[in-house]
Amino acid sequence: MDELYRDQILEHYKRPHHFGRLDEFDLEFQDSNPFCGDEQHVFLKLDENRRVTEVAFEGQGCAISTAATSLLSDELEGMTREELLALPKEFVLDLLGIDISATRMKCAMLGLKVVKGASLGEPADWEDEGEEGNPAEAASL
Amino acid sequence: MEPTATTVPSLPRSIEVIRAEFPILAREVHEEPLAYLDNGATAQKPLAVIDTLDRYWREHNSNVHRGVHTLSEEATALYEDARRTVATHLGADSREVIFVRNATEALNLVAYSWGRTNLQSRDRVVVTEMEHHSNIVPWYQVTKEKDADLDWAPIDDDGRIDLDSLSSLLERGPKLVCVAHVSNVLGTINPIREIAGMAHDAGALLVVDGAQAGPKLELDMAELGADFYAITSHKLYGPTGVGALFGRRELLEEMPPFIGGGSMIRKVSKELITWAGLPAKFEGGTPAIAEAIGFGAAMNWLDQLGLPAVHAAEAELTSYALERIAEVPGLTVFGPPAGDDRGGIVSFAIDGVHAHDVSEILDRHGVAVRAGHHCAQVLMQRLGVPATTRASLAVYNTRDEVDRLIDALLDVRRVFEL
């Protein structure tokens, strides 16, 4: 039953990487998950080639949202804004490496949503969050 | 009403018999028997309600107040019977009971109809820090629109409304005071009669959100002194999609309609439209007929058990739950200690574990609870937490289920290596 809370997830939850703020940054964005109130604030510093050189995030959230953003933060260095905006949700799901149920998908995607918001400078109009029910799944319930 | 605790009334049938009336309680979740402790979100439905809905769809389905044929007459009679049931339950006149979709719509009806008509620039409305968003957002909207002011009555550290501060706010002459009867997060049973007296002495009307109180407390509108009172069916063992607003008749008579359409008019011409009388004036469009009839069935079922006995059973289980949950290390419970003003809603936080993760692990033990801000973000800010986990009790819950909650909470600590 502890597949969801396996060691890697708990480790990133308890000691998230890049947790905190940057004093100097080029991009930042804060957003929340209205369903649960979880909040994350992401800071990105870019180099002269407009690639990410430093990442930090802070906020409060569950094990899934915190671990997802922590794992994501390890991967962002060297990426351009365009590359950040192109990241699919599978990128985060692969990093997590566990099955995420429909109800927890918003938790898993909060960090990516905020990173995209930072890249755009406005809330990412990004509804690819597993909101839509799967009719086949509903029929089997 | 707060019990006086001279004699403790008992339920007319055993908890096993009552549980057997709820088919869903027999199912399993993750191969464990379901322990349904999310009754504050919605309660499960007894056969008395399920069978009433089934019978309605099979035998009586028709529109109400329209056709002159047998089915329509039957449906209309059943729908109006349900209204009489709700009115009797509330100690009100049938014309004072408006069927709406839920408690949220009941409160919006008051805000849009009474509020937009009676609030003016610089008028004041008081809400409390413990309100559900449904008793905040409509008042925020209407006070913004009318350039009126919204005042916040604070709560104390035990999760009770600070009546001295409320008293000070009343000196500013608000037109309206809006308060929950039972907090959906803290379980606090607010002293509505006392607050009604205070509000009325200050010249204000009192709006009560009774969504959580409906399934827990005996309600008599005259005794409580509420001017408006909102209840919902689905937390009271009835169907979703229907609720009721009680409003004092002389207030409702003066208020304009909320939703325009069929059923709510007396006469329509190109030049002039006149409104139907109460309660039809506020029920534009085809209502949730089956659901209203099911609501009536739920109330009859609850009244047959007897709310004093239901309340006494819940109070006993709440005390047990508060006692047992104190055994879990690193856990903080919000709301007043066990006592007459504590309903069966137990919200808590575990140090180092987010409420969602608590809920997820509990679910794997078959224990259903709610996690999140409970549509009470102002209260979450006051409590200084982003979210809580909430176990909320109903008449069919048992000590065994509370024990399973505690065991599952200990497992949360194990999974998170606390």
- Over range A53-69, report the average pLDDT: 95
By Cβ distance, the residue of B357, B364, B386 closest to A63 is B357
How far is residue B19's CA from residue B363's CA, in Å, rounded to a whole number? 20
CATH for B15-33+306-415, options being 1.10.3720.10, 3.90.1150.10, 3.50.50.60, 3.60.10.10: 3.90.1150.10
Mind listing the domains of chain A with CATH numbers? Answer: 7-121 (3.90.1010.10)
Is A10 near chain B, with CB under 8 Å?
yes
By Cβ distance, the residue of B30, B353, B356 closest to A36 is B356
Give B124-162 pLDDT, tens digit per residue: 999 999 999 999 999 999 999 999 999 999 999 999 999
Judged by CB atoms closer than 8 Å, whether chains meet at A36 and B372 is answered as: yes
Strand-pair category, B124-128 with B149-153: parallel
Is B417 near chain A, with CB under 8 Å?
yes
Contact between A61 and A38 under an 8 Å Cβ cutoff? The reply is yes
- Over range A51-61, report the average pLDDT: 95
Residue A52 pairs in a beta bridge with A46
Judged by CB atoms closer than 8 Å, whether chains meet at B416 and A10 is answered as: yes
Which fold does the domain B50-304 belong to in CATH?
A: Aspartate Aminotransferase; domain 2 (3.40.640)
Judged by CB atoms closer than 8 Å, whether chains meet at A5 and B386 is answered as: no
Tell me what pLDDT residue A131 has. 40
Taking the model in full, what pTM does it have? 0.91
Residue B7: pLDDT band (50, 70, 90) is: confident
Tokens matching residue B54: 């089934």
Tokens matching residue B371: 């996690």
Residue A3: pLDDT band (50, 70, 90) is: confident
Is A58 near chain B, with CB under 8 Å?
no
Residue A139: pLDDT band (50, 70, 90) is: very low
- Over range B23-47, report the average pLDDT: 98
Contact between B135 and B210 under an 8 Å Cβ cutoff? The reply is no
How far is residue A108's CA from residue A66's CA, in Å, rounded to a whole number? 8
Q: What is the ipTM of this complex?
A: 0.79
CB within 8 Å of A98: residues ≥ 6 apart: A3, A4, A6, A9
By Cβ distance, the residue of A14, A37, A64 closest to B377 is A37
Q: Is B375 a catalytic residue?
A: yes
Is B418 near chain A, with CB under 8 Å?
no
Biggest CA pair distance of chain B? 73
CA distance to partner chain A, nearest, from residue B417 (Å): 9
Count of C-beta atoms within a 10 Å radius of residue A82: 9
| In chain B, where the domains are located | 15-33+306-415, 50-304
Give B244-295 pLDDT, tens digit per residue: 999 999 999 999 999 999 889 999 999 999 999 999 999 999 999 999 999 9
How far is residue B239's CA from residue B290's CA, in Å, rounded to a whole number? 9
Judged by CB atoms closer than 8 Å, whether chains meet at B387 and A104 is answered as: no
Give B362-380 pLDDT, tens digit per residue: 999 999 999 999 999 999 9
Provide the percentage of residues in chain B whose pLDDT is more than 90.
95
Is A15 near chain B, with CB under 8 Å?
no
Residue B328: pLDDT band (50, 70, 90) is: very high
For chain B positions 323-362, those within 8 Å of chain A (CB to CB) are 352-357, 360-361
Is A39 near chain B, with CB under 8 Å?
yes
Q: From the candidates B29, B48, B375, B378, which is the catalytic residue?
A: B375
Tell me what pLDDT residue A24 has. 95
Is A2 near chain B, with CB under 8 Å?
yes
Contact residues, chain B, for A2 at CB < 8 Å: 415
Tokens matching residue B103: 């408690």
By Cβ distance, the residue of B373, B387, B415 closest to A2 is B415
Judged by CB atoms closer than 8 Å, whether chains meet at B356 and A104 is answered as: yes
Is A37 near chain B, with CB under 8 Å?
yes
Cα–Cα distances in angstroms (integers) from residue B325 to residues B218, B328, B329, B369, B390, in the given order: 28, 6, 9, 14, 12
- Over range A29-50, report the average pLDDT: 89
How far is residue B276's CA from residue B298's CA, in Å, rounded to a whole number? 28
